Amino acid sequence: MLKTRVITAVIALLAVGIVLFVIPPLYTELVIGLLMVAAAWEWAGFLDTESNTQRLIYTGLIGAALIGVWLAIEGYADTILLIACTWWVLAFFWNLRFPTPIPNAMRWLCGFLVIVPLFLALILLLRQGVEYLIFTLLIVWVADGGAYFAGKAFGRVKLAPAISPGKTWEGVVGGFVLVAALAIGVAVWQELSVAVLLPFCLAVAAISIVGDLTVSMFKRTAGVKDSGTLFPGHGGVLDRVDSVAAAAPLFVLGMNGLGLV
Confidence tier at 125 by pLDDT (50, 70, 90)? very high
**DSSP state letters, 193-223:** -HHHHHHHHHHHHHHHHHHHHHHHHHHHHHT
pLDDT bracket for residue 149 (50, 70, 90)? very high
pLDDT-based confidence at 236, cuts 50/70/90? Answer: confident
DSSP one-letter string for 102-152: --HHHHHHHHHHHHHHHHHHHHHHHHH-HHHHHHHHHHHHHHHHHHHHHHH
Mean pLDDT of all residues in 44-62: 90
At residue 78, does pLDDT exceed 80? yes
Confidence grade of residue 5 (pLDDT, cut at 50, 70, 90): low
Pick 17 or 244 by higher pLDDT. Answer: 244
Start-to-end Cα distance in the chain: 41
Using the predicted structure, report yes or no on whether residue 229 has a pLDDT greater than 90. no
Indicate the pTM of the whole model: 0.93
Name which residue leads in pLDDT, 3 or 13: 13
Region of poorest pLDDT, from 27-31, 117-121, 175-179, 221-225:
221-225
Residue 76 confidence (pLDDT) above 70: yes
Query: Does 2 score more than 60 pLDDT?
Result: no
Angstrom CA distances, 92 to 34, 89, 187, 213, 215, stand at 28, 5, 29, 9, 11
Domain ranges of the chain: 2-257
Does the pLDDT value for residue 190 go beyond 70?
yes
